[in-house]
């Protein structure tokens, strides 16, 4: 497992700490940070806000954020918020 | 974010953008919720609204000074409890409705962000209602209350929001504009992330919503006419009107405005009102009221009166009334600006009009309806259903309330089974897109998931088919009082009619009708019809080829159903089950049709088709309906033993064309395929023998059966382009049907076996398999070939070879038709063939008119290029069992 992979292990607000951790890793990251959404069924407003913050921070630091295993429901939320162009997606 | 941001500073814009972003994020998160999630949130919201109903009503009264606290509390309860009762079991997430018989399901998609304007007259109830609807449909709402009802509305939003979020709704799902202004509203109405405007309020608000260019539900003013007809239960009507018009001091826009009362009951009704504490104004008082409460400049009610008590209004204008007066009633003499009280009055003042007739009453109600109330609400009190029907037809209102109060009745769920609402759609008359009581379905994008229709197939054939030599003896089975034998001159001459007559039961009166042996004209059919009527026949025996049998079919149709319009019934159609023409089903008389075929080609003895010659237009009209099918078919080879060689060849190729076209038809099924393939096999084997050895009874018999079997196939799978072209070309140049088919056949096989320019748009076409079906025929005939293309080529070559062997002309040119004349005819013939129902929607390729023209030219030039690999000997049939395996392979 690459060091710059962050696993989101719970739904909704529970994903926020992991997202904050990912933001913290942006400083030391080279190239990309991977967020693994495989265990995430849905996100809540705070997680969504954290994802927006992460995107802005990553862009500022020139780091590519890869979202892995995002399900369709969460992808649709990102799409509605027009956040999806700011990330790369992997299955 | 929006181009329309007048008078807004940056801070205000930033504030509004913040609201939108918050709502947008909430709406996005909300899309992940399930029905169960949503329903878990709605119920506690309803409970919270019920618990706070009186609190919110008091706030509303304190702030707006309109209406009655107790009534507003009731409205808050209706907006929660009654609305919940309606929505609780409704599916609003995912698959919401299913129509199994239509292969259709509806799936909900939330709208996203709603911008909702709420009125001063029904402030908190409207907010409660809209919050419940929004959560039920997974939408976020930005509220903009009327500025004079902001405090009570924002409190209602708070109560709903806290209850919703506590039970799992996304944060930010409801917000309420602080100090809303018209520029705020304009900004949000034009915001690109606002999906729907839901505007409940005055005409200005509604108009602004609709003018924004956004999808909008704009629900505004009304002017409810009431017809109190003489058969009504007067006591009930008076109480209902009083209940409704005084409810919340008349602030509900569906409340009664002008009551039109029949002359016979007018005085009695006013007395009943007066007995229940209404003040009946005299003419002077009515005039005073008109001047005082209606603004003569605008023609609308002055705000000072809206939602006030009757006594308050009376006191304000110096009208002396009893202290317990609950309603002011003012007689009016007409409707319009010169009768100011005929407009909407959202306070306890009712106009009344004495009508001398139902007609006058309805006209006055129409006038009131059109004086600001189109599309909204109307009320009728009557026990006469005819009056209610006339009222409903005359008045343009989304809600026509019968024998119940207008305001509470229109809200639905209390006095009737209409959908509970606080938003009344007024249709196009009110500038709205709906006449519905606005409900959860208006807060959803409803997606239709339409699964492919698997249309029912069928295999319909006549009741009885008798075949083999002496099958004609079975005519004796059918008792008849009066029988007519329709036949041709030749068949009468050679004694065939006598054979038939011998088997008709002896007590039957028999009349013989001899008609020309040519495709029947209308004139011939109508003359025959006269005979059928004269002899009052109960049985028709059609003895002849396709023309005679077709004539008998049409005669029977007209005999049984005199109203049948042949021209209309022959109209073109795309799908036989959806065609415009309706074949008659009611019969004035009835006759059994027995078809005895004397040629081996058309199979008309079993088909539901009859071709009529339209000489005036130089074309053939095809009638197709299973009601045309003969009841009994007799396929007796003794009647074809003397067929001339040319007729044997032409009719035999007609039979082959039927089978080949049915075989590749989009409507082909295993039922029709089994018949088509068998017929093809029989034709290739027995037609050359029957042609070359006319006395060979086995060959004749097999060809006679093949024609009938092929007809059973195409009666259910139809034919195709070959027939359409043959009909057009044959009618124009007087070429016999079978020969015209023969001239087209090799070219049409090659055409249908090529990848279509356009596929036939039909749910029956699951895959393009025509080329495989032809290849399968080639295999069935043992023609060889390794690839599908080779097999198709060999089938074409075998067909050419068969035509050669039958000495059929191999090109239209060989018929002696000059090229110039043909060239002139082709464009029209291609057009006629395109209109011919034969190919629709069954041919495996949807033909372009240009392709039909190309096919005509191909037939004119004749023979396709010979395939050097074509077999030199006539093919033989393979075992039918092999076919079944190949059929399943072809479908793959």
Question: According to the 3-state scheme, what is the secondary structure of B277-329?
Answer: CEEECCHHHHHHHHHHHECCCCCCECHHHCCCCHHHHHHHHCCCCCCCCCEEE
Considering only CB atoms, which chain A residues are within 8 Å of B107?
none
Could you tell me what percent of chain B has a pLDDT over 90?
Answer: 82
Distance (Å) from the C-alpha of residue A30 to the closest C-alpha of chain B?
A: 31
Q: Is A68 on the interface with B (CB under 8 A)?
A: no
Fold of B17-219: Aldehyde Dehydrogenase; Chain A, domain 1 (3.40.605)
A46 to chain B: nearest residue by CA? B171
Distance (Å) from the C-alpha of residue A2 to the closest C-alpha of chain B?
A: 30
- Facing A77 at nearest CB: one of B32, B171, B172: B32
Angle at B797 between CA B791 and CA B798, to 5 degrees: 90
Extract the tokens encoding B692. 């070359």
Domain ranges of chain B: 17-219, 224-416, 466-639, 643-892
Nearest in space to B176 (alpha carbons), one of B240, B135, B127, B235:
B127
Q: Is B844 exposed, middle or buried (0-12, 13-18, 19+ CB in 10 A)?
A: buried
pLDDT digits (tens, 9 = 90+) for B468-511: 999 999 999 999 999 999 999 999 999 999 999 999 999 999 99
C-alpha distances (whole Å) from B623 to each of B127, B627, B714 are 63, 10, 14
A47 to chain B: nearest residue by CA? B29
Q: Answer whether A44 sits within 8 Å of B172, measured CB to CB.
A: no
A74 to chain B: nearest residue by CA? B32
Q: Which band of pLDDT confidence, cut at 50, 70 and 90, is reported for residue B265?
A: very high
Q: Which of residues 8-27 of A touch B (CB under 8 A)?
A: none
The predicted pLDDT at position A12 comes to: 67
Could you tell me what percent of chain B has a pLDDT over 70?
Answer: 96
- Facing A81 at nearest CB: one of B24, B170, B171: B24
- Facing B31 at nearest CB: one of A41, A45, A80: A80
Q: Answer whether B29 sits within 8 Å of A45, measured CB to CB.
A: yes
The predicted pLDDT at position B888 comes to: 38
> In 3-state terms, what secondary structure has residue B482?
strand
Distance (Å) from the C-alpha of residue B448 to the closest C-alpha of chain A?
A: 19
Nearest in space to B541 (alpha carbons), one of B518, B566, B512:
B512
Neighbours of B471 (CB within 10 A): 19
pLDDT digits (tens, 9 = 90+) for B661-720: 999 999 999 999 999 999 999 999 999 999 999 999 999 999 999 999 999 999 999 999
Range of the domain at A54: 5-90
The predicted pLDDT at position B872 comes to: 43
Q: Is A49 on the interface with B (CB under 8 A)?
A: yes
Extract the tokens encoding B489. 């001159």
d(CA B423, CA B437): 6
- Facing B172 at nearest CB: one of A42, A45, A80: A45
d(CA B214, CA B194): 8
Neighbours of B693 (CB within 10 A): 12
A40 to chain B: nearest residue by CA? B32
pLDDT digits (tens, 9 = 90+) for B828-854: 999 999 988 888 889 999 999 999 999
Considering only CB atoms, which chain B residues are within 8 Å of A43?
29, 32
Kindly report the CATH class assigned to B466-639. Answer: alpha beta
Q: Answer whether B171 sits within 8 Å of A45, measured CB to CB.
A: yes
Look at chain B and count its residues: 892
Say if CB B119 and CB B150 are below 8 A apart: no
> In 3-state terms, what secondary structure has residue B862?
coil
Considering only CB atoms, which chain B residues are within 8 Å of A11?
none
d(CA B173, CA B352): 47
Look at chain A and count its residues: 91
pLDDT digits (tens, 9 = 90+) for B565-607: 888 888 777 777 777 878 888 887 799 999 999 999 999 999 9
The yes-or-no verdict on residue B784 having pLDDT over 60 is yes
Say if CB B217 and CB B199 are below 8 A apart: yes
d(CA B143, CA B279): 40
Name every residue whose Cβ is closer than 8 Å to that of residue A86 and which is 6 or more positions away in sequence: A55, A58, A59, A65
A41 to chain B: nearest residue by CA? B32
| Mean pLDDT, rounded, of chain A | 88
A77 to chain B: nearest residue by CA? B28
Considering only CB atoms, which chain B residues are within 8 Å of A41?
32
Q: Answer whether A46 sits within 8 Å of B26, measured CB to CB.
A: no
| Total count of domains within chain A | 1
CA B122 from centre of chain:
39
Residue range B138-148: average pLDDT? 97
d(CA B444, CA B133): 10
| CA dihedral sign of residues B133, B135, B136, B140 | positive
Q: Answer whether B171 sits within 8 Å of A44, measured CB to CB.
A: yes
- Tell me the CA end-to-end span of chain A in Å, nearest whole number: 15
Q: Where are the alpha helices (DSSP H) in B119-275?
A: 123-136, 150-166, 182-189, 203-211, 234-246, 263-275
C-alpha distances (whole Å) from A42 to each of A19, A20, A81, B107, B416 are 14, 17, 15, 20, 41
Q: Is B644 exposed, middle or buried (0-12, 13-18, 19+ CB in 10 A)?
A: exposed
Q: Is B764 exposed, middle or buried (0-12, 13-18, 19+ CB in 10 A)?
A: middle
pLDDT digits (tens, 9 = 90+) for B299-322: 999 999 999 999 999 999 999 999
Among B253, B281, B365, B708, the one annotated catalytic: B253
Q: Answer whether B24 sits within 8 Å of A74, measured CB to CB.
A: no
Considering only CB atoms, which chain A residues are within 8 Å of B108?
none
> B197-206, B365-374, B438-447: which range is least confident on average?
B197-206
d(CA B418, CA B412): 4
Nearest in space to B352 (alpha carbons), one of B228, B464, B254:
B228
Helix %, strand %, coil % for chain B, to 5? 50, 15, 35
Q: Which band of pLDDT confidence, cut at 50, 70 and 90, is reported for residue B621?
A: confident
Greatest extent of chain B over all pairs of C-alpha atoms, in Å: 117
B interface toward A at CB cutoff 8 Å?
Answer: 24-29, 31-32, 112, 170-172
Say if CB B631 and CB B609 are below 8 A apart: no
Helix %, strand %, coil % for chain A, to 5? 45, 20, 35
d(CA B27, CA B174): 10
For β-strands B609-614 and B619-624, DSSP reports them as antiparallel
Distance (Å) from the C-alpha of residue B175 to the closest C-alpha of chain A?
A: 15
Extract the tokens encoding B362. 């309805």
For β-strands B216-219 and B196-200, DSSP reports them as parallel
Neighbours of B551 (CB within 10 A): 30
Extract the tokens encoding B578. 């959806």
CA B614 from centre of chain:
33
Q: Answer whether A77 sits within 8 Å of B29, measured CB to CB.
A: yes
The predicted pLDDT at position B868 comes to: 45
The predicted pLDDT at position B841 comes to: 85
A52 to chain B: nearest residue by CA? B25
> In 3-state terms, what secondary structure has residue B41?
helix
DSSP secondary-structure letter at B510?
E
> In 3-state terms, what secondary structure has residue B380?
strand
Q: Is the ipTM of this complex over 0.95?
A: no
d(CA B406, CA B365): 14
> Which CATH number covers residue A63?
3.30.750.24
d(CA B784, CA B792): 10
Give the residue, B277 or A11, on which the prediction is more confident.
B277
List the single best residue of A11, A16, A41, A45 to mutate versus B (max B Cβ within 10 A): A45
Fold of B643-892: Dehydroquinate synthase-like, alpha domain (1.20.1090)
The yes-or-no verdict on residue B886 having pLDDT over 70 is no
Residue range B164-183: average pLDDT? 96
> In 3-state terms, what secondary structure has residue B12?
helix
Give the residue, B384 or B880, on which the prediction is more confident.
B384
Name every residue whose Cβ is closer than 8 Å to that of residue B766 and which is 6 or more positions away in sequence: none
Say if CB B330 and CB B349 are below 8 A apart: yes
Residue range B133-138: average pLDDT? 98
d(CA B831, CA B804): 30
Nearest in space to B287 (alpha carbons), one of B332, B256, B325:
B332
A12 to chain B: nearest residue by CA? B29
C-alpha distances (whole Å) from B587 to each of B412, B463, B751 are 48, 19, 43
The yes-or-no verdict on residue A20 having pLDDT over 80 is yes
Considering only CB atoms, which chain A residues are within 8 Å of B24?
80-81
Say if CB B348 and CB B298 are below 8 A apart: no
Considering only CB atoms, which chain B residues are within 8 Å of A80?
24, 27-28, 31, 112
Q: Which band of pLDDT confidence, cut at 50, 70 and 90, is reported for residue B876?
A: very low
Nearest in space to B519 (alpha carbons), one of B611, B624, B602:
B611
- Count Cα neighbours of A88 within 13 Å in the Cβ-side half-sphere: 11
Nearest in space to B560 (alpha carbons), one of B531, B527, B533, B523:
B533
pTM of the entire predicted model? 0.81
Residues of B878-891 as b/e, b for ≥16 C-beta within 10 angstroms?
eeeeebeebbeebe
Distance (Å) from the C-alpha of residue A77 to the closest C-alpha of chain B?
A: 5
d(CA B751, CA B664): 12
The predicted pLDDT at position B891 comes to: 37
Say if CB B594 and CB B478 are below 8 A apart: yes
Q: Answer whether B171 sits within 8 Å of A43, measured CB to CB.
A: no
Highest mean pLDDT among B411-415, B450-454, B785-789: B785-789
Kindly report the CATH class assigned to B224-416. Answer: alpha beta
CA B674 from centre of chain:
35
Extract the tokens encoding B53. 């109903």
Q: Is A44 on the interface with B (CB under 8 A)?
A: yes
pLDDT digits (tens, 9 = 90+) for B460-469: 988 899 999 9
Q: Answer whether A80 sits within 8 Å of B172, measured CB to CB.
A: no
Continuous segment of H or E residues that includes residue B597: strand B592-597
The yes-or-no verdict on residue B883 having pLDDT over 60 is no
DSSP secondary-structure letter at A86?
G
Backbone angles phi, psi at B378, to 5 degrees: -145, 155
Say if CB B755 and CB B658 are below 8 A apart: no
Q: Is B253 a catalytic residue?
A: yes
Q: Which of residues 70-89 of A touch B (CB under 8 A)?
A: 73-74, 76-77, 80-81
Q: Where are the alpha helices (DSSP H) in B561-600?
A: 566-569
Q: Is A45 on the interface with B (CB under 8 A)?
A: yes
Q: Is A55 on the interface with B (CB under 8 A)?
A: no
Backbone angles phi, psi at B112, to 5 degrees: 120, -105
């Amino acid at each position: 497992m690459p060091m710059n992979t962050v696993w989101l292990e719970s739904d909704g607000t529970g994903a926020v700490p992991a997202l904050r951790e990912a933001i913290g890793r942006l400083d030391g990251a080279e190239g990309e940070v991977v967020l693994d959404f495989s265990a995430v069924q849905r996100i809540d407003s705070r997680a969504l806000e954290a994802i927006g913050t992460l995107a802005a921070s990553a862009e500022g630091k020139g780091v590519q954020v890869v979202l892995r295993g995002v399900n369709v429901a969460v992808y649709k939320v990102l799409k509605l918020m027009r956040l999806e162009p700011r990330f790369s997606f992997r299955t | 974010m929006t181009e329309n941001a007048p008078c807004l500073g940056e801070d205000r814009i930033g504030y509004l953008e913040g609201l939108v972003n918050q709502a947008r994020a909430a709406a996005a998160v909300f899309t992940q919720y399930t029905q169960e999630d949503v329903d878990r949130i709605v119920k506690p919201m309803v409970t919270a609204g019920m618990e706070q109903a009186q609190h919110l009503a008091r706030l509303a009264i304190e702030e707006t000074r309109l209406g009655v606290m107790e009534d507003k509390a009731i409205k808050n309860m209706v907006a929660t409890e009654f609305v919940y009762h309606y929505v609780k079991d409704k599916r609003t997430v995912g698959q919401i409705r299913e129509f199994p018989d239509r292969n259709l399901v509806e799936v909900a998609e939330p709208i996203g962000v709603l911008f909702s304007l709420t009125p001063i007259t029904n402030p908190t109830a409207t907010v409660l209602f809209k919050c419940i609807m929004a959560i039920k449909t997974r939408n976020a709402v930005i509220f903009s209350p009327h500025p004079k009802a902001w405090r009570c509305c924002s409190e209602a939003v708070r109560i709903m929001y806290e209850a919703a979020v506590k039970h799992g709704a996304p944060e930010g799902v409801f917000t309420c504009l602080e100090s809303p202004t018209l520029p705020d509203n304009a900004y949000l109405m034009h915001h690109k992330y606002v999906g729907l405007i839901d505007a409940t309020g005055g005409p200005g608000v509604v108009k602004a919503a609709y003018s924004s260019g956004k999808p909008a539900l704009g629900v505004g003013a009304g002017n409810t006419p009431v017809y109190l007809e003489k058969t009504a239960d007067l006591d009930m009507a008076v109480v209902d009107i009083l209940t409704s018009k005084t409810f919340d001091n008349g602030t509900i826009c569906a409340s009664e405005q002008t009551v039109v009362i029949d002359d016979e009951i007018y005085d009695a009704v006013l007395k009943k009102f007066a007995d229940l504490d209404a003040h009946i104004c005299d003419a002077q008082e009515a005039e005073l009221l008109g001047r005082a409460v209606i603004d003569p400049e605008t023609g609308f009610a002055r705000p000072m009166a809206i939602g006030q008590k009757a006594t308050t209004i009376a006191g304000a204008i110096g009208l002396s009334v009893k202290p317990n007066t609950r309603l002011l009633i003012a007689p009016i003499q007409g409707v319009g600006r010169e009768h100011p009280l005929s407009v909407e009055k959202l306070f306890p003042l009712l106009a009344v009009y004495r009508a001398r007739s139902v007609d006058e009453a309805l006209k006055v109600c129409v006038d009131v309806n059109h004086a600001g109330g189109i599309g909204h609400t109307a009320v009728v009190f009557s026990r006469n259903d005819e009056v209610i029907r006339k009222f409903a037809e005359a008045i343009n209102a989304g809600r026509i309330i019968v024998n119940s109060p207008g305001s509470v009745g229109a809200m639905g769920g209390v006095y009737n089974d209409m959908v509970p609402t606080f938003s009344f759609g007024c249709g196009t008359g009110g500038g709205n897109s709906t006449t519905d009581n606005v409900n959860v379905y208006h807060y959803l994008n409803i997606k239709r998931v339409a699964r492919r229709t698997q249309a029912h197939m069928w295999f319909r054939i006549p009741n009885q088919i008798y075949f083999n030599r002496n099958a004609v003896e079975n005519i004796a089975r059918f008792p008849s009082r009066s029988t007519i034998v329709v036949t041709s001159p030749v068949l009468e001459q050679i004694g065939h009619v006598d054979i038939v007559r011998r088997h008709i039961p002896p007590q039957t009166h028999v009349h013989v009708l001899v008609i020309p042996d040519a495709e029947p004209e209308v004139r011939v059919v109508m003359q025959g019809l006269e005979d059928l009527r004269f002899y009052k026949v109960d049985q028709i025996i059609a003895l002849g080829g396709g023309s005679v049998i077709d004539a008998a079919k049409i005669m029977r149709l007209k005999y049984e159903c005199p109203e049948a319009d042949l021209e209309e019934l022959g109209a073109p159609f795309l799908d036989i089950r959806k065609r415009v023409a309706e074949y008659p089903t009611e019969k004035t008389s009835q006759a059994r049709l027995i078809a005895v075929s004397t040629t081996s080609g058309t199979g008309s003895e079993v088909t539901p088709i009859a071709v009529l010659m339209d000489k005036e237009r130089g074309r053939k009209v095809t009638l197709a309906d299973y009601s045309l099918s003969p009841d009994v078919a007799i396929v007796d080879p003794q009647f074809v033993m003397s067929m001339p060689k040319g007729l044997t060849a032409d009719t035999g190729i007609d039979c082959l064309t039927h089978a080949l076209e049915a075989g590749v038809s989009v409507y082909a099924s295993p039922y029709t395929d089994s018949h088509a393939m068998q017929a093809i096999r029989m034709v290739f084997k027995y037609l050359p023998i029957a042609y070359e050895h006319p006395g060979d009874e086995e060959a004749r018999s097999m060809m006679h059966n093949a024609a009938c079997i092929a007809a059973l196939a195409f009666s259910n799978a139809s034919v195709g382009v070959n027939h359409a072209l043959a009909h057009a070309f044959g009618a124009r140049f007087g070429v016999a049907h079978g020969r015209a088919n023969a001239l087209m056949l090799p070219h049409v096989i090659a055409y249908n076996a090529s990848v279509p320019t356009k596929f036939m748009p039909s749910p029956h076409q699951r895959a393009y398999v025509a080329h495989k079906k032809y290849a399968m025929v080639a295999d069935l005939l043992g023609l060889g070939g390794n690839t599908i293309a080779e097999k198709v080529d060999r089938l074409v070559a075998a067909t050419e070879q068969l035509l050669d062997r039958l000495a059929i002309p191999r090109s239209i040119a060989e018929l002696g038709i000059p090229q110039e004349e043909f060239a002139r005819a082709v464009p029209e013939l291609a057009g006629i063939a395109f209109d011919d129902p034969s190919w629709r929607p069954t041919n495996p390729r949807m033909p372009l008119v240009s392709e039909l023209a190309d096919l005509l030219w191909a037939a004119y030039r004749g023979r396709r290029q010979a395939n050097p690999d074509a077999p030199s000997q006539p093919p033989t049939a393979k075992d039918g069992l092999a076919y079944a395996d190949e059929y399943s392979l072809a479908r793959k």
